[in-house]
Chains A and B, each alone.
Chain A
Amino acid sequence: MLHQYKNNGYNIVLDVNSGSVHVVDELMYDAMAVGEKLIGEIEAPIKLDDETKAKIKDALIDKYSEKEIDEAVADIQELIDVEELYTRDTYELYINDFKERETVVKALCLHIAHDCNLACKYCFAEEGEYHGRRALMSYDVGKRALDFLVANSGNRKNLEVDFFGGEPLMNWQVVKDLVKYGRSLEEPNNKKFRFTITTNGMLLNDEIMDFCNKEMSNVVLSLDGRKEVNDAMRPTRGGKGSYDTIVPKFVKFAKSRGTKDYYIRGTFTRNNLEFSKDVIHFADLGFKQTSMEPVVGEESETYAIKAEDIPKIMEEYDKLAVEYIKRKKEGRGFNFFHFNIDLTQGPCVAKRLSGCGSGTEYLAVTPWGDLYPCHQFVGKDEFLLGNVFDGLKRKDISNEFKLCNVYAKPKCKDCYARFYCSGGCAANSYSFHGSITDTYDIGCELQKKRIECAIMIKAALAG
């Protein structure tokens, strides 16, 4: 399967099943398309026969010279020989092993506080409460969660724990105590914890920043961009804007991170479809690691992204990509999470098949210790998996997640992006279709566009 597209003056061809990415001229762009119709998908290299070569020539002779077409055919043959063109998807054969795989728990999203000091209008956690009551996680529940993680992580060495909310800084002492407890578990169990925290910044202070710089491998800082955009969607509970309080703190925090990661992370909605300006605003504030996600919300919400918004959003990704390249070339580049793509050292096929790991490798823990497949399922009773005291009780639900992969999703089978997104977000699929093996269609369109931009950027920066 090929995916061909043109973007920012580049002709790009993805050979989906080998993962190879080719940047080609106009002639080759046309020749590869003709070749695909004639050759289809092949499991092993073949030699192009005279009949096929003649058909390619016939299809292209009105536009290109005989000599040029011969060169294109030679290039096609060369790529077939090294298995980088017209390759067949042979990974489905691997899927049986995949289904039988032993999974371990390697990451927890600890809902350290089901409470928040902001009242963001699009919050899927309903201002921190997740359709339930306000609550803070006790140290005891947190300890049991870390014990559960160690006990269920098999031989996996690196364990991830994200302090999430609500707003985790509203329960800061417990965060600190749990980090200390986690560190005490490392040596005796041959584990390494990677702690991360996602915060709105309202309660950030020097002591918290110092602690995070020592202990947290990544911090995710929530901000939506320009002041008017941020303040419209991220007010305080008293209705005031949050931008002026948090931005100076985030700027200071980001500068102090040293070699440790951070992300300034925003959400864009139908109200600010010109989100490229908000990402550029991040860059202008001096942030080097940025992320901006489309909001996911009920279709009835006025801020929800609608299908008719897709063309505008695509245009924005294109604009952002052009500026991104420009600034990189000028030596003042920044990273945008969704444009990160590692074409040579990226995830293996096993990872690409298994997706985000929700429900198996990745679980969310509520303040009172209940386990859910991920933070977005919290509060949905039908997905309650067990708790940190008694362990996983609903293996049937975990198994459903374990078997959820790109081949289990009919819409993914013919999609070129399946090995990049791994079938998309199960929670979004469930929200829109009531099934984890469907897909959130608007999300898919945007995801595909981001992948196209990310690959085009690679081409632009390689040349």
Chain B
Amino acid sequence: MKHVVTLNEKTLKESLKRGGCGECQTSCQSACKTSCTVGNQGCENPNR
């Protein structure tokens, strides 16, 4: 593509197939405590 650089692929749709293991960190346990910042949490599913 001449006019586009894509930083990532369709990650959300792909994650539907293997997601939901629940092993990830609870978001407020990190460094916020007063807002909800799920998007910056990591995935901890070893099988993703």
Contacts and interface: CB of A to CB of B under 8 A. Distances in A.
Interface of A: 17-25, 27-28, 31, 71-72, 74-75, 78-79, 82-84, 87, 90-91, 94, 101, 104, 106-107, 109, 124, 156-158, 160, 162, 194, 196, 198, 218, 220, 263, 265, 267, 289, 291, 293-296, 337-338, 340-352, 355-358, 361-362, 374-376, 419-426, 428, 443, 447, 451, 454-455, 458-459, 462-463
Contacts of B11: 18-20, 343-344, 346
A349 B30 CA distance: 20
Given A91-B16, A346-B11, A25 B3 contact: yes
Given A22-B6, A345-B42, A459-B7, A375 B29 contact: no
A355 B7 contact: no
A156 B23 contact: yes
Sort chain B's interface into a size bin: 35 or more
A357 B43 contact: no
Contacts of A291: 31-32
Contact of A348 (B6, B9, B16, B35): B16
A308 B33 CA distance: 24
Given A82-B10, A420-B38, A357 B15 contact: no
Contacts of B36: 355-356, 421-426
B12 to A, nearest CB: 3
Given A160-B29, A337-B32, A362-B26, A348 B42 contact: no
Contacts of B42: 342, 345-347
Contacts of A265: 31, 33
Contacts of A342: 40, 42-43
Contacts of B33: 198, 220, 265, 293, 375-376
Interface string B16-48: 101110111111111111111111111111001
28 contacts: A19-B10, A22-B6, A22-B7, A27-B3, A75-B3, A75-B4, A79-B1, A82-B9, A84-B10, A87-B10, A107-B26, A220-B31, A220-B33, A263-B30, A265-B31, A341-B40, A343-B7, A346-B39, A347-B41, A349-B15, A350-B15, A351-B19, A351-B38, A420-B38, A421-B36, A421-B37, A421-B38, A459-B7
Given A18-B10, A84-B10, A75 B35 contact: no
B3 to A, nearest CB: 4
Q: Is the interface of B mostly helix, strand, loop or mixed?
A: loop
Given A20-B10, A419-B12, A340 B40 contact: yes
B9 to A, nearest CB: 7
A365 to B, nearest CB: 14
Q: Which 4 A-B pairs have the closest CB atoms?
A: A348-B19, A420-B39, A19-B12, A350-B20
B1 A351 contact: no
A348 B43 contact: yes
Contacts of B44: 158
Contacts of B22: 104, 106, 156, 350, 361
A458 B7 contact: yes
B26 A361 contact: yes
A85 to B, nearest CB: 9
A175 to B, nearest CB: 16
A101 B20 CA distance: 10
Contact of B8 (A19, A294, A340): A19
Nearest to A342: B42
B25 to A, nearest CB: 7
Given A18-B10, A19-B10, A358-B28, 7 more contacts: A19-B8, A79-B1, A218-B31, A294-B35, A346-B42, A352-B39, A376-B33
Given A19-B11, A198-B33, A352 B6 contact: no
